[in-house]
């Protein structure tokens, strides 16, 4: 059986965030260097400035599950998950360990929770020494997240994957339904008004 594919890409907002962090980091680094050149050694400014200067690197190192390019391919023999460069990491389906973590952002005012925003799931795949985490936000169609998890669970049990559901997004066309007499009458009357 042919493996099923789920297209993935880095979320569109990821790289602008990295760009803003690099801009802030460069500005903070400049302020730190300027303060040191002027002989101003305030640990508060240098510490906070240094932290902001390295924040883009910290962000890139701590968020690899949000970078992907290519397709997640799921078959009975193996599962392939691409990394940020598109190089697939291959896991044997029979030995695949899967951990699903639902990500929820909680908004609070002081200590009072005011809302929650679900932000997909992080899937941790492991096969011996090989491991890869990937977020369902990287899916080209985030509505396929539940189907992806279900297919991963199926191949772990030795059952064939079903693949992503047919998209019902705004680009999907509805099947034509037969016109009834009232619609035909409405069309005639609207045409007569023109």
Q: What is the pLDDT of residue 175?
A: 53
**In this predicted model, what pLDDT tens digit does every residue of 126-167 receive, in sequence order?**
988 889 999 999 998 888 999 999 999 999 998 889 888 776
Q: What is the pLDDT of residue 1?
A: 65
Share of residues in the chain with pLDDT > 70 (%): 92
Q: What angle do CA 140, 146, 151 make, to 5 degrees?
A: 95
Is the pLDDT score of 178 beyond 70? no
Span 63-79, mean pLDDT? 91
Is the pLDDT score of 104 beyond 80? yes
CB 84 within 8 A of CB 69: yes
Q: What is the mean pLDDT of the chain?
A: 87
Q: What is the pLDDT of residue 42?
A: 80
Closest CA to 143 of 127, 162, 165, 125: 165
pLDDT band at residue 8 using 50, 70 and 90 as cut-offs: very high
How far is Cα 108 from Cα 85, in angstroms, rounded to an integer? 36
Q: What is the pLDDT of residue 179?
A: 64
CB 97 within 8 A of CB 129: no
Among 52-61, 87-96, 120-129, 183-192, which stretch is predicted with the lowest mean pLDDT?
A: 183-192
How far is Cα 126 from Cα 96, in angstroms, rounded to an integer? 6
């Amino acid at each position: 059986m042919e493996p099923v594919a789920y297209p993935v890409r880095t979320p569109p907002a990821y790289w602008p965030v990295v760009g803003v962090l690099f801009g802030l980091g460069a500005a903070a680094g400049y302020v730190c260097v300027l303060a040191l050149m002027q002989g101003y050694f305030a640990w508060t400014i240098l510490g906070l400035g240094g932290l902001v200067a390295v924040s883009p690197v910290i962000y890139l190192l701590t968020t690899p599950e949000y970078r992907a390019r290519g397709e997640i391919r799921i078959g009975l023999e193996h599962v392939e998950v691409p990394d940020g460069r598109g190089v697939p990491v291959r896991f044997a389906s029979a030995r695949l360990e899967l951990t699903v973590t639902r990500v929820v952002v909680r908004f609070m005012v002081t200590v009072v929770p005011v809302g929650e925003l679900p932000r997909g799931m992080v899937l941790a795949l492991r096969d011996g020494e090989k491991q890869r985490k990937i977020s369902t936000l990287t899916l080209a169609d985030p509505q396929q997240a539940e189907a992806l998890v279900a297919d991963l669970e199926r191949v772990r049990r030795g059952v064939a994957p079903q693949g992503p559901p047919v998209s019902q997004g705004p680009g999907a066309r509805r099947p034509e339904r037969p016109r009834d007499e009232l619609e035909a009458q409405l069309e005639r009357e609207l045409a007569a008004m023109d």
